[in-house]
């Protein structure tokens, strides 16, 4: 009897799968298909064609497919290589807003006919984790608290320039023993609709609120953010001493201007503090080289060159640098060397170099991933979308990178993030991180 064996059949979404087919005849040509549906009701699909070995088995993590949506032996190739149908009108990235269980269907076919199928359930929330909607003191977010009395360290998770409220990252942190606080700050009901003049006091309120929660440890609070959220967490760490660790995905060590639906980009402040605009990049045109030619209609816009052009005004860069040396704890920077959205490797290096120059007393590290672009995050999701329309401006932007490199970067960086938190907030683990170099990860 042909069977699909999946381990774990029910497990965390950041845990790799072991997929094995048994009961085949040696030499059988079998197609293994995988599919899952995201929160936008879009179906993602992948497939791989294998030849059964002499024992009549296929071991996905050990065998390279003859053909399919990925090429090399890879336990999670059927997950990261999933893509949308060509006629799907919304070709944006895989989207999970609510951390509900994610079913993944696996089907084996021989000669075009399905011979066996099974479903693996992927979890964002571990058993015992409590989900608590938060609407206190003007805050809009969701707190995930690990099992046990605590007090638990906490991680505030912050989105980038798309805004909104995404709970999956916070849920995963809680599933690893850290209370996760998914915090929305714009582009969500009851909040500003644009990334313009967002007061840092809002995040100060969030920190103080967490410090008052009896099951949390107010002395162990980290912030984690991506893209403009990565810029934000560096800024928050430099502003509020209660932040004891910073995790910055594809971040910027300089502050950029605001973004709005009206097309406002860079002409006004994104952040304010104590009623004043936080200084941001305002390059002088006369200091810059000629503008690059416009991107043809329908072609994803690679913004990196535009950011690099603005950075030619070194004085403007200096005025907008985040004083990251004021951060009151370790810093982890994660970037993509092929980032087309903005030059995250170079922008992260501005922060790292500043830490080095100021003899920063805490551990810090910059992981720069070869072949990866702007979409580095938690692992084991489809990584095949390399461009999409911005939620605010509607423009089609390129992310850079390749699906396979993204998959590797997401897997490796997530392990490093969890190790970073364990080293920072754990009681007995030693911290072994470089305080003076960028790590180029191939």
pLDDT in tens, 427-441: 422 333 333 345 656
130-441 CATH: 3.40.50.1820
Q: What is the pLDDT of residues 184-207, one digit of tens each?
A: 999 999 999 999 999 999 999 999
H/E/C letters for each residue in 325-359?
A: HHCCCCEEEEEECCECCCCHHHHHHHHHHHHHHCC
Mean pLDDT, rounded, of the chain = 94
pLDDT for 143: 98
What does the pLDDT read at residue 432?
31
288, pLDDT greater than 90: yes
Q: Alpha helix (H) ranges present in 262-313?
A: 304-310
Instruction: Return the pLDDT at 7.
Output: 97
d(CA 172, CA 123): 9
Q: What is the pLDDT of residue 438?
A: 53
d(CA 226, CA 160): 5
Mean pLDDT of 336-342: 98
Q: What is the DSSP string of 175-216?
A: HTTSEEEEEE-SSSTTS-SSBSSEEHHHHHHHHHHHHT-TTE
Q: If you average pLDDT over residues 382-406, what whole number do you get?
A: 95
CATH top class, domain 3-123 = mainly beta
Residue corresponding to tokens 């313009």? 196
CB 103 within 8 A of CB 121: yes
pLDDT at 279 over 60: yes
pLDDT at 261: 84
Residue 262 has pLDDT above 70, yes or no: no
What value does the mean pLDDT take over residues 210-231?
97
> Are the C-beta atoms of residues 198 and 213 closer than 8 Å to each other?
no
Judge residue 214's burial from the number of C-beta atoms within 10 Å of its C-beta, 0-12 exposed, 13-18 middle, 19 or more buried: exposed
Q: Looking at the predicted structure, is the pLDDT value of residue 335 above 90?
A: yes
pLDDT at residue number 423? 96
Q: Per-residue confidence at 98, pLDDT binned at 50, 70, 90?
A: confident
pLDDT band of 96, cuts 50, 70, 90: confident
Closest CA to 363 of 416, 412, 319, 314: 416
Higher pLDDT, 433 or 169: 169
Q: Which residues contact 409 (CB under 8 A, 6 or more apart)?
A: 336, 369, 371, 372, 376, 401, 441
The pLDDT value given to residue 437: 41
* pLDDT of 275 strictly over 60: yes
Q: State yes or no: pLDDT of 305 exceeds 90.
A: yes
Domain ranges of the chain: 3-123, 130-441
* Model pLDDT, residue 266: 66
Identify the pLDDT of residue 61.
97
Q: Give percent above pLDDT 70 in the chain.
A: 95
- The residue-averaged pLDDT of 141-163 equals 96
43-51 and 67-68: which strand pairing? antiparallel
274: left (phi over 0), alpha (psi -120 to 50) or beta: left
Gap between the Cα atoms of 46 and 64, Å rounded: 15
């Amino acid at each position: 009897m042909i069977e699909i064996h999946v381990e774990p059949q029910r497990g965390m979404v950041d845990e790799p799968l072991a997929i094995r087919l048994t009961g085949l005849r040696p030499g059988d040509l079998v197609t293994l298909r995988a599919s899952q549906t995201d929160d936008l009701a879009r179906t993602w699909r992948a497939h791989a064609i294998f030849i059964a070995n002499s024992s009549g088995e296929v071991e996905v993590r050990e065998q390279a497919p003859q053909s399919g949506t990925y090429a090399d032996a890879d336990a999670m190739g059927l997950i990261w290589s999933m893509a949308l149908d060509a006629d799907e009108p919304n070709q944006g990235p895989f989207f999970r807003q609510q951390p509900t269980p994610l079913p993944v269907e696996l089907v084996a076919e021989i000669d075009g006919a399905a011979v066996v199928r099974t479903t693996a359930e992927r979890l964002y929330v571990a058993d015992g984790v409590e989900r608590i909607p938060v609407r206190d003191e003007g805050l809009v977010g969701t707190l995930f608290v690990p099992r046990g009395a605590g007090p638990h360290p906490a991680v505030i998770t912050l989105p980038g320039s798309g805004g909104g409220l995404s709970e999956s990252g916070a849920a995963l942190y809680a599933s690893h023993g850290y209370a996760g606080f998914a915090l929305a700050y714009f582009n969500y009901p009851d909040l500003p609709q644009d990334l313009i003049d967002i007061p840092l006091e809002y995040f100060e309120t969030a920190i103080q609120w967490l410090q008052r929660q009896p099951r949390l440890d107010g002395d162990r609070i980290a912030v984690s953010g991506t893209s403009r959220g990565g810029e934000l967490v560096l800024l928050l760490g430099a502003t509020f001493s209660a932040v004891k660790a910073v995790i910055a995905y594809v971040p910027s060590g300089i502050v950029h201007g605001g973004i709005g639906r009206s097309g406002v980009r860079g002409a006004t402040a994104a952040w304010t503090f104590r009623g004043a605009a936080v200084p941001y990049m305002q390059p002088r045109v006369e200091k810059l080289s000629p503008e690059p030619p416009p991107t043809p209609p329908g072609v994803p816009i690679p913004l990196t060159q535009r950011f690099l052009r603005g950075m030619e005004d070194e004085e403007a860069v200096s005025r907008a640098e985040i004083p990251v040396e004021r951060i009151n704890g370790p810093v982890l920077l994660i970037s993509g060397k092929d980032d087309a959205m903005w030059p995250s490797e170079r922008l992260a290096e501005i922060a790292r170099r500043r830490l080095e120059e100021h003899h920063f007393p805490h551990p810090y590290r910059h992981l720069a991933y070869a072949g990866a672009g702007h979409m580095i995050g938690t692992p084991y999701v489809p990584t095949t979308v390399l461009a999409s329309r911005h939620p605010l401006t509607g423009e089609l932007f390129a992310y850079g990178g390749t699906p396979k490199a993204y998959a590797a970067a997401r897997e490796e960086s997530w392990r490093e993030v969890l190790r970073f938190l364990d080293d920072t907030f754990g009681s007995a683990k030693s911290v072994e991180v470089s305080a003076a170099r960028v790590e180029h990860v191939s």
